[in-house]
Amino acid sequence: MVRAILIAILFLSPTAAFAQSAPPSTARDPAQTSQTAPSGGRNVVLLPQILADLFGPGQGGDAAPPAPNGASAPTDAAQGGGQGNPATQTPAPIQPPRTSPVTSPRAISGAFVPDEVLVTLDGGAGVAAEVAALFGLQVRSTRVSGLLGQTVARFGIPDGRPVGFVLAQLAGDGRLAARVPNHIFELQQAAGIVNYAFERIALDASEASGETVSVAVIDTALDPEHPALKGVVAGEFDALPDMAVKDRGHGTSISGLIAGQGPFHGMAPGARLLHARAFEGGISSTDVLLSALDWAASEGAQIINMSFVGPENPLFAAACRNAMARGIVLVAAAGNNGPGAPFGYPAAYDGVIAVTATDVHDKLMGQANRGRYVDLSAPGVNVIAPIPGGTDVVTGTSFAAAIVSGAIANLMRAGAKQEPAALATLLARTAVDLGPPGRDEDFGHGLINTKAALAGR
């Protein structure tokens, strides 16, 4: 029935039905029946009510928490062109897939900013402005992504059209390579005493070191005056420059667990720590995270810790693939949303090392995600970590991921192969099997064993 109605609409319309809406100055309600309006010498047809009904309301709406605005360089200034791993030749960027038209917002999984979409295109701010004008959108930011090799434009939807509806409209413009929602990501900290992590992962605290290894953390802001982090941070980037810093807790804990020194001994003291602030109030967006990932790659990060979880997003997936192609090891939290939760991304992307959390007895954290994407287990239940003003007990796959990032920095310093796939294979082969024999969906390959990995490198 729906197909027949669509065929009838196409037959009756004087031009192609997917030529979409008018520029802002002549924008109309997309629910109006088919009308034409001039735009740059073309007749533009407004989609009729029947198509709006088919797309239905977006899933962002009130169910999605307000996401931080993207932080982007103006116009065409390239950011994150990046040398990546200095020892690795930079391959040509993998282009994001040219997505097929979205047929219903119900196909959009996860929370997203309800009045924004992200697109990639060849060209700069001028092309983005033309596209925005044609479809009645606002250009909220544009920047060149070094990892994606294209301009990323963040468009605002000023008239209340659902995100799925706008993505379908944009499918008619051949200048756009990818069109995705601006998904929302959340930090992975669960509610939570000598730090037992060193013992459980077989890493000698007195010999632990990440000296000469560059480790980037994408997280909240950190406390630069904390005794464990003072003088440790080699570079900082603020992906939310227009938003006041209120939260420094999670970022302080993650960076401290990796590179803390002095009164608090991190897993890899001496590491060259690069810290990108991309979260406030526990949430971030795809656009913000892309800018932080670009920055980390451009600063020569060899390991990037991503202790957050969100839905699958093609742009972020492509950026992660390109980062790994440059030789950068990506470590991510598997998620704290329980056994029945959907896969957590970026941990579930191929090649990313997905880390779940265990306790002092090597028992799995009850809130941990499960799934075939889980690679490794590491201490993440009631571990001691720095917080602003001192230390505290923390729990979550976030902290397990940080411990694995620190362990990998030790391996790199000791001369282990730095290519991401080779390192992942080494860690899987030397892990201590937990749960059922072999790899399983709870513990992955098992508990990371730094001593065995050092011996087997």
Q: What tokens were used for 234?
A: 């080699």
Indicate if 377 belongs to the active site.
Answer: no
Q: CA 268, CA 170: separation in Å to the nearest integer? A: 46
Instruction: Give the residue among 457, 424, 423, 403 at the shortest CA–CA distance from 215.
Output: 403
Indicate if 433 belongs to the active site.
Answer: no
Question: Which is catalytic among the residues 183, 226, 250, 445?
Answer: 250
Question: Which is catalytic among the residues 253, 255, 285, 398?
Answer: 398
Task: Supply φ then ψ for residue 306, to 5 degrees.
Answer: -125, 90
Indicate if 100 belongs to the active site.
Answer: no
Q: 224: burial class by Cβ within 10 Å (0-12, 13-18, 19+)? A: middle
Q: Print the SS3 string covering the chain.
A: CHHHHHHHHHHHCCCCHHHCCCCHHHCCCCCCCCCEEEECCEEEECCCHHHHHHHCCCCCCCCCCCCCCCCCCCCCCEECCCCCCCCCCCCCCCCCCCCCCCCCHHHCCCCEEEEEEEEEECCCHHHHHHHHHHHCCEEEEEEEECCCCEEEEEEECCCCCCHHHHHHHHCCCCCEEEEEEEEEEEECCECCCCCCHHHHCCCCCCCCCCCCCEEEEEECCCCCCCCCCCCCEEEEEECCCCCCCCCCHHHHHHHHHHHCCCCCCCCCCCCEEEEEECCECCEEEHHHHHHHHHHHHHCCCCEEEECEEECCCHHHHHHHHHHHHCCCEEEEECCCCCCCCCCCECCCCCCCEEEEEECCCCCECCCCCCCCCCCEEEECCCEEEEECCEEEEEECHHHHHHHHHHHHHHHHHCCCCCCHHHHHHHHHHHCECCCCCCCECCCECCECCHHHHHHHC
Question: Which is catalytic among the residues 39, 214, 219, 223?
Answer: 219
* Residues marked as catalytic: 219, 250, 398
